[in-house]
Amino acid sequence: DIQMTQSPSSLSASVGDRVTITCRASQSISSYLNWYQQKPGKAPEVLIYAASSLQSGVPSRFSGSGSGTDFTLTISSLQPEDFATYYCQHSYPPTFGGGTKVEIK
């Protein structure tokens, strides 16, 4: 089975910081990689699909890159509403990374 490993598991950052989260697959998954944001007590919401496509309605400060085994989610300038937990997900079969909690420094 394909394993998805996210790093770091948590990070502290300030408003305006550039934040990068990585996701590594245990074998090549082409571009079948998606990113979600989850706020406390809420269901996750998709940010990025197919590695680099921005979901409609998601601010352009979010971007995704990568293919094969290594992927990155970047927030170009962290905003107060971005403090949340982020998950990567491989499509087939549906497998999630362990999550990255972004906290206020």
Applying CB under 8 A, the residues found at the interface with another protein are 1, 34, 36, 38, 43-46, 49-50, 55, 87, 89, 91-99
| Percentages of the chain per state (helix, strand, coil), in multiples of 5 | 5, 50, 45
| Residue 60: CB minimum distance to another protein, A | 18
**37 DSSP 8-state letter:** E
Output the smallest distance, CB 45 to another protein, in A: 7
Minimum distance from residue 17 beta carbon to another protein (Å): 24
Nearest to 90 by CA among 45, 21, 27: 27
Cβ nearer to another protein, comparing 34 with 73: 34
Could you tell me the smallest distance in angstroms from the CB atom of residue 96 to another protein? Answer: 4
**Sign of the CA dihedral running 27, 96, 34, 60:** negative
CB closer to another protein out of 78 and 88: 88
Residue with smaller CB distance to another protein, 43 or 105: 43
φ, ψ of residue 45 to 5 degrees: the values are -130, 140
